[in-house]
Copies of this chain bind each other. A is one copy, B any other.
Amino acid sequence: MYRTHTCGELNLANAGKEVTLSGWVQKTRALGGMTFVDLRDRYGITQLVFNNDADVALCDRANKLGREFVIQVKGKVTERTSKNLNIPTGEIEITVNELNVISESETPPFLIENDSDGNEELRLKYRYLDIRRPQLRDRLIMRAHIIRAVREYMDGKEFIEIETPNLVKSTPEGARDFLVPSRLQHGSFYALPQSPQILKQLLMVAGMDRYYQVARCFRDEDFRGDRQPEFSQIDCEMSFVHQEDIFETFSGMISHVFKKVKHYDLGELPRLKYHDALKLYGSDKPDLRFDCKIVELNEVLPASEFGVFNTAIANGGLVAGLNAKGCATYTRKQLDELTEFVKVTHRGLGGLVNIRFNEDGTVKSSVDKFYNEEQLRQIGKVFDAQKGDLLLIGSDKISKVRKSLGDLRLELAKKNNWIDPKAWSVLWIVDFPLFEKDEESGEITFAHHPFCSPHLDDMQYFDSDPTRVRAQTYDMVINGNEILSGSIRIHQRDIQARVFGKLGITPEDQESKFGFMLNAFRYGAPPHGGCAFGVDRLVMLLSGGETIRDVMAFPKTAGGRDLMMDAPTVVDKKQLDELGISVKA
């Protein structure tokens, strides 16, 4: 037997017991005729002690142990003289009488501690060493606990876990498919699923009533930001439900997870309409851990010659701002930084007007030329500005102003530590539009995906004013991250065909890409809806990770490479020949 106990479980209650432990050498130190070794495994660290007086040879061998050696020891549990009450095993140590080295270790390429000296590339290459760091190890364990809590809840609600295939049909749903050449049918390809969307809907047509799966999804996108080519989602679908049933079920689920994993009571989840979210927070995934709403000024601006604002309003644009509480003392440099922040390409505002309500009662502004003090105070009232506050105001097209101020709001919160790190903001965003119009091309595209059911009340605008049609679509947002997305689905063949048509999918393409789904609706489709939780992001938030790579065992780089395995790689020509494909020169 390699061990009688793990390195995390012995304590004073075991004193006097003869035990066998196995694990990794975290560190050794010789001290006045004694050698101490911290022995580590997944469960914790136990201190070993070797006494020079008792056994010189054994103590000598202990002194030669290197970091990360795998050893087995036998000895007696003894009360420590100097206790470490920070760890569960800190009141005891093992007085060792037998030592076996199971595997030696070369010097690891980086320090195996939370504050490692290895950069991420090196740590990805040696991921099996990186995972030994307590932080990453504990995040992977928390991931398992979160998924277990989800399953517990779903199983209790009569959801059935069903595995759907990973070799499916290429049906562009928005992102690019990974393809898998077929050997038995040269020239044909499977696709890896972007999500089990259609299959879970067919499971509802099949009468399975309540389905879930921790589903692997694949998207061959450029891995901008924090994306991975494959990721996991908690994929759910239920029949005979309205939106309210979904809100109840999945509010319950997230509350269960928070209770189980964070011992935190979420309470009732607020709901915010999509348009209100944009209007108030400039984002459809607002972080409500702090206030600082956007204030719109079009209707309340005092008359002035200030052309920037007047032009924006005349062109159907928006003048709006934020009240940066307590920031009136910002220096010129700080104000310039904020201006630069909203001017970068993807925000694209022309600049920011600032109005400072100083502690001494004066009001100063970057547009003193155009607004007198009374007018500035009038604007201040709209923001409920107090002494010490700073107003930041922008103007341009509506979407650009909202986006910029939404981002600025987050930036201000970060700079000013407005966010309580222990607070949680979990809410539903509802009433998304069914369609969006591309600002450049004017083309109609879907806002979520083409299977979302319109609000039946809005079908009257379907042809006349399609972007006015609301969808029965909802997101769950946690601390400003979209964690869940879902909808009531279309279960009527005619409505599905109309939506496809509006998206410019020809009847021929509808038949070849989605024929099997439209066909299924001929045979008694139940009303149904569902959602998908992004596992990686959820775990990242709950475990305090900074990227989703921090919560995946073997993630890929931004370039889609696995540095540990060294994948992708070139393959034998024979393999390609068998598949009937060739690589272009």
Contact = CB atoms under 8 A, between A and B. Distances in A.
Nearest to A201: B128
Contacts of A137: 206-208
A3 interface: yes
Contacts of A202: 127-128, 564
Q: Categorize the interface residue count of chain A.
A: 35 or more
Contacts of A522: 105-106
Nearest to A575: B179
Nearest to A536: B163
Contacts of A216: 163, 166, 216
Interface in A285-344: none
Contacts of A387: none
A170 B569 contact: yes
A116 interface: no
A502 interface: no
A372 to B, nearest CB: 58
Nearest to A184: B560
Nearest to A206: B131
Interface in A268-297: none
Interface in A127-178: 127-132, 137, 140-141, 143-144, 147-148, 151, 155, 160-170, 176-178
Contact of A131 (B208, B524, B580): B208
A579 B69 CA distance: 45
Contacts of A22: 240, 526
A580 B583 contact: yes
Contacts of A492: 103
Contact of A179 (B24, B103, B168, B180): B180
Interface in A1-28: 1-3, 6, 22, 24
B230 A525 contact: no
A212 B95 CA distance: 34
A581 B578 contact: no
Contact of A526 (B103, B164, B169, B524): B103
A203 B102 contact: no
Contacts of A188: 568-570
Contacts of A151: 148, 151
A43 B209 contact: yes
A185 interface: yes
Interface string A217-246: 010101000000110100000001110010
Contacts of A210: 42
B144 A206 contact: no
A442 interface: no
A131 B42 contact: no
Nearest to A162: B553
7 contacts: A1-B245, A42-B210, A163-B232, A166-B216, A181-B181, A181-B581, A582-B582
